[in-house]
Amino acid sequence: MHPLPVLDAAPIAADPLWQQQLGLLLESTGEGIFGIDLAGHCMFINRAGARMLGWEPAEVLGRNMHELTHHSHADGSAYPDTDCPIFNAFRQGLPCRIDTEVFWRREGTAFAVEYSSHPIMDGAQVRGAVITFLDITERKRAAQALQKAKAELELRVAERTRELSAALVQLRELSAYSESVREEERTRIAREVHDELGSLLVALKMDVGWLDKRLGEQQARDPDAAQDMRERMRCKCRNMGRLIESAVGNVGRIITDLRPSILDHQGLWAALEWQAQDFVQSAELALDWDMNLSAAAPELPEPAAMAVFRIFQEMLSNVGRHAQARRVRIRIATDAKALRLSVRDDGRGAPPEAFEAPTAYGVMGMRERARRLGGSIHIASFPGEGSFFELMLPLASRP
């Protein structure tokens, strides 16, 4: 193999045409290119490479290129040629491409460089290496600016995320407080309706009954005295009694809607069963009921029990409003760690996205109640296949 041509130096190729073509090739690129022999001395270098290094081509020829331009790391620490990937290209026959190092200029300043080194082979024998390199200072600066902008953006996103998270926590705390206040107000109204209005209606019904009875007694003693008037008054009393009975029933229903007394008197499980039986009776549905309670399950505190009851009511309400079902299956199970409550219907179902809609307030309310208790709501539904709602509530960590 003939030696390669040297620019601005004695020819290293015997063929002048080959030397000319190679020289044109080397000068036609903006990348720096130089070749070294097995001792690391420069055999040729193009003008672009010499200019990047701050030398004239003739001044570089024959110089050890590692000592000239690759002698130190970017921090100024020594860079032994035994570690140099460029020299390894001919020492070990290993080509490389590096973009994490620097070359040093004549005046002692460094610049970021991307270089590749490939061995020059003569058959199976290595004769040296050819190195191409490019000043990537601007690329590195742009990459650093991009990384800085990315870091600043990530910092802003993190700050905004923290702000939004804090706002969400505050919103949930406000929602929980509002729900607590609402339940307390329902309890107060239910008690007042029961204690005041309910008692008044019962007393009024007793008075009407007494009046009806006395009119009947008077009619028996004096059948001819104003019989027609007394009969009309008795009819009016009976009608008033029926209206009062209806009012008493409505008051009881309102009290139950506001605050089911069974929840206070008999507990959550009895309240859930009562609610299920009342629902299927009014909706004319078949009920498949199964409750399996573990004695090891801790008792739910009153706010949690009310939340579970409200979630159950909303599940049944969804069945009643939308499902057009014939049968509903309810499963309630507890163990020492969790409560699972599920409602499945055989109705028309709905696409999954219907339960994620911004207007699905009932579903959002269930999920928010469950989330405040550390639980979750799982919903599975497809058109024509019915719907499945499940509450999973951990109990182990509850007081």
Mind listing the pLDDT tens digit for each residue in 171-195? 777 566 666 666 666 676 666 666 6
- Pairwise CA distance, residues 360 & 172, whole Å: 18
Q: In which order are the strands placed within the sheet that holds 338-345? A: 286-292, 327-334, 338-345, 387-394, 376-381
- Pairwise CA distance, residues 53 & 102, whole Å: 11
The answer, yes or no, to whether residue 16 has pLDDT greater than 80, is no
Model confidence pLDDT, tens digit, residues 335-354: 989 999 999 999 999 998 88
List Cβ<8 Å contacts ≥24 apart for 73-77. Answer: 73/101, 73/102, 74/101, 74/102, 74/110, 74/112
Q: In which order are the strands placed within the sheet that holds 110-122? A: 42-45, 32-37, 125-135, 110-122, 96-104
Model confidence pLDDT, tens digit, residues 212-258: 776 666 656 656 555 666 676 777 777 777 777 777 777 766 666 66
The better pLDDT of the pair 229, 137 is held by: 137
- Pairwise CA distance, residues 294 & 315, whole Å: 23
Task: Give residues with Cβ within 8 angstroms of 114, minimum separation 6.
Answer: 97, 98, 99, 133, 134, 136
Please report which confidence band the pLDDT of residue 48 belongs to, taking 50, 70 and 90 as the band edges: very high
Q: What is the pLDDT of residue 73?
A: 94
Determine phi and psi for 125, rounding to 5 degrees. Answer: -100, 135
- Say which range, 35-39, 215-219, 312-316, has the weakest mean pLDDT: 215-219
Taking each helix axis as running N to C, give the angle between helix 227-258 and helix 137-192, from 0 to 180 degrees, rounded to the nearest 10.
150
Strand 125-135 and strand 110-122: pairing?
antiparallel
- Say which range, 200-204, 224-228, 263-267, 296-300, has the weakest mean pLDDT: 224-228
